[in-house]
Structure 1
Amino acid sequence: MTLSQSLIVHYGSTMNCNDIDTRIGARIRAERESRGWSLTDLANRASVSRAMVHKVERGDSSPTANLLGKLSGAFGLSMSTLLARAEMAGGNLLRRNDQPIWTDPETGYIRRQVSPKSEMPLDLVEVTLPAGEEVPMPASAYAFIQQLIWVLDGSLVFDEGDVRHELQAGDCLHLGPPADCVFKNTGQVPCTYAVAVLRSG
């Protein structure tokens, strides 16, 4: 079974990847149409192909973390906000078994939305990056946010533009100005880290 065929836990139940792909695709289309953009407009703003945007909106293709970063940046949203709008219900309490989980089909990167949906400009996310994998993210994904990375288990190499940070369990990094970044797990075991995202608006 491939990663894109695996099951994702969603709101305490199992949900096929095609279902979450459809929800994400519908959210991306809604964000695009609310701005009056064509498929070509979004593709140009995100620096991706029009065909790829079309496939993602239709739920025909599982978006990678890198692609979602580019699309959310084009919308002026954090990736956390974009996914939360696609995934989450309301309520002040979000129990662990109900926290939405999304898996990157390319790397197996697992993203858990920890914080409940609210009007607070803060998102809290838990990420598990498998051993030997890396996830690049464009500078546009960080243009509208401030972010902290707190390593909970394992080790993480984080390339922030031309600067490399080697983080161990317990280390916490405040990201600087927007830059192309790469999250890397060069170790032999999965790395789990928390991301606190403060939105500017």
Structure 2
Amino acid sequence: MSISAMIRTERETLGLSMRDLAALAGVSYPTISRIENGHEDPRWDTLTKIAAALGKTLAPTFETRPILRLADIDVDGATGEPDWTRLRSFADQITLHPEWTAAAIADAPSPDSP
């Protein structure tokens, strides 16, 4: 489930309108609308505010090979155009929270791996 779908589902479960959620989170209504409609990926601070307004807390987790996901590179090595917004957000968060760096770096592949 996408972040936009999760936000919409949680908001609707609580019986909130987008305007209600925007007011509770302290962000603009157009921002909530763009996020829920998949036109904008929320920044971490915006997502934290939205989560708090929905009665949730966030904890950062990193998948294996996070840089590959941000750069839209699949595991077979085919490349796509990087998602510069996500890459910048990722770099900003690592800069703000250096303690997350180790979790964001995947283990080096073994020399035997293809």
What is the deviation of 1:102?
A: 8.0
1:44 aligns with 2:23: yes
| TM-score (structure 2 length as normaliser) | 0.59
1:192 aligns with 2:95: no
Q: 1:191 to 1:98 in 2, by over 3 A?
A: closer
Distance 1:192 1:51 in 2: 33
1:67 aligns with 2:46: yes
Amino acid at match of 1:108: F
Distance 2:22 2:10 in 1: 13
Q: 1:73 to 1:109 in 2, by over 3 A?
A: farther
Distance 2:34 2:3 in 1: 11
Distance 1:25 1:60 in 2: 9
Q: 1:65 to 1:109 in 2, by over 3 A?
A: farther
More strand by proportion, 1 or 2? 1
Distance 2:26 2:19 in 1: 10
Structure 1 counterpart SS, 2:53: helix
1:24 aligns with 2:3: yes
Amino acid at match of 1:36: G
| TM-score (structure 1 length as normaliser) | 0.35
String of CA shifts for 1:70-116, please: whole Å, max 9, x gaps: 01111111113xx89xxxxxxxxxxx7599x9867343249xxxxxx
Aligned residue for 1:79? Answer: 58
What is the deviation of 1:193?
A: 5.6
Aligned residue for 1:176? Answer: none
More helix by proportion, 1 or 2? 2
Of 35, 41, 57, which residue of structure 1 is paired with 2:14?
35
Give unpaired runs (5+ residues) of structure 1: 1-21, 85-95, 111-127, 135-182, 195-201
Distance 2:44 2:69 in 1: 10
Root mean square deviation of aligned Cα: 3.6
String of CA shifts for 1:127-167, please: whole Å, max 9, x gaps: x71xxx33xxxxxxxxxxxxxxxxxxxxxxxxxxxxxxxxx
Distance 2:22 2:53 in 1: 9
Aligned residue pairs, count:
86
